[in-house]
Amino acid sequence: MRLYDVDLGSRLLLGTAQYPSPQVLTDAIAASGCEVITVSLRRESVGVAGTNGFWPLVQATGARILPNTAGCHSAQEAVTTARMAREVFGTDWIKLEVIGNADTLQPDPFALVEAARILCAEGFEVFPYTTEDLIVAERLLDAGCRVLMPWGAPIGSGRGLRQPDALASMRGYFPDVPLIVDAGIGAPSQAAQAMELGFDAVLLNTAVARAGDPVAMARAFGQAVAAGRLAHEAGLMPPRDMAVPSTPVLGMADLRPGGLA
């Protein structure tokens, strides 16, 4: 997978919030095989006395850092947070979140496009958290984004792909744009479904961090993403409206009473 001229071997991206301990976090990252982790600027206070040392912790994993603007509710707030994140984490990558609804955590498409246009002009490599709306997607690409991250379901809901047909349409409409399903994935089977639709990667957090065994769940998601991608590349059989026998009937012996063997 290639994202902004960076080649990656894993198609799973992991968040770093809500884990029961730093050790579980680092073990889960290793078990998943992921090469990109998202980090909120709020998780680390560089140069502040008493800092929790989160930045050295995630650096030690060897994963590439994708800072995010989680919790921002306006374009200006997101742009300011992105600028601070670039200074703190030393990367032009930014996961752009501009929340428009406090209950659903649905992105604000208008503020999202506005912030994306400003950040792309400033040299950021933007990963916008968006919906499956094709018009918004086109506006984000016009703004300079080279990756799109449509949601599967509301953040932290674990409901999987609520609009699989819309997501499939998005995949077909933008065949050459890297597409990452972000948010709402609650089970490895849901991640595999996204990959079977042809998406390039999956980003998730809560399903691993809040699992009974986060390390085992991280490993399960890593395998599910790989399996889903392999299935897509192999070519899934199309669904059928009626049963079709896998063994041909023609040529079989007739074993009914009075039948011909």
Per the annotation, binding residues for 1-deoxy-D-xylulose 5-phosphate are 156, 183-184, 205-206
Detail the residues annotated as belonging to a binding site: 156, 183-184, 205-206
What is the β-pairing status of strands 6-7 and 2-3? antiparallel
Rounded Cα gap, residues 44 and 52, in angstroms? 7
Known catalytic membership, residue 137: no
Residue among 11, 86, 95, 117 flagged as catalytic: 95
Rounded Cα gap, residues 195 and 179, in angstroms? 10
Which positions are annotated as active-site residues? Answer: 95
